[in-house]
Amino acid sequence: MSRFLPTEFVDSIFEIDLEKLKSMGKKGFLFDIDNTLATYAMAVPDEKTKEWIKKLQELGFGVYLISNNNERRVKPFAESINAGYIAKALKPRIKPIRQACANMGISVDEAVLVGDQLFTDIWGGSRIGMHTILVKPISEVEHGFVRFKRRFEKLIMKRLNKKG
């Protein structure tokens, strides 16, 4: 069972501790795209995500995209952040994961795999002993935020009504 489990679990990519991973000897990231770096509706990452990936590259980390989505989706996304990519990776197959590491010139031990799904993204990496990080799917985080906003709105309306 533990081989299904991620090494770490965070709310979003922005909570990934880059300094810690660097000190652990990690040299490159393999990212899932959909719901990990962007929603399905976004053709390229938003500015905040682009900035974060740039920072990661400036810190010396390799960045590689590994997606089960097709070339048409993955290529422009990868180009927008100067990253290599493998489309139609058929995760949790291990072959594309190893291939991505080889293309970055790093070993599996030096790589970190980041994704939003346990049985596709994480399982593939975990079963070959890779450091894996599960993030909450972006769409769900957005929905969570909408729910939070609604609750907040309700609370305010209640207060206003009391005053009135």
* Contact status, residue 6 vs residue 134, Cβ threshold 8 Å: yes
Integer distance in angstroms from the first to the last C-alpha of the chain? 57
Figure out which of the listed residues 6, 45, 100, 116 binds Mg ion, where binding follows CB under 5 A: 116
CB of 32 to Mg ion, least distance (A): 4
Figure out which of the listed residues 32, 111, 122, 123 binds Mg ion, where binding follows CB under 5 A: 32
* Contact status, residue 29 vs residue 62, Cβ threshold 8 Å: yes
In the stretch 57-96, what mask flags binding to Mg ion with x, by CB under 5 A? ----------------------------------------
135 binds Mg ion (CB under 5 A): no
110 binds Mg ion (CB under 5 A): no
Q: Nearest Cα to 97, choosing from 74, 120, 79? A: 120
34 binds Mg ion (CB under 5 A): yes
CB of 138 to Mg ion, least distance (A): 9
Distance CA 158, CA 96 (A): 54
Of 6-14, 82-90, 110-118, 126-134: span binding Mg ion (CB under 5 A): 110-118
Q: Count CB atoms within 10 A of the CB of residue 19.
A: 8
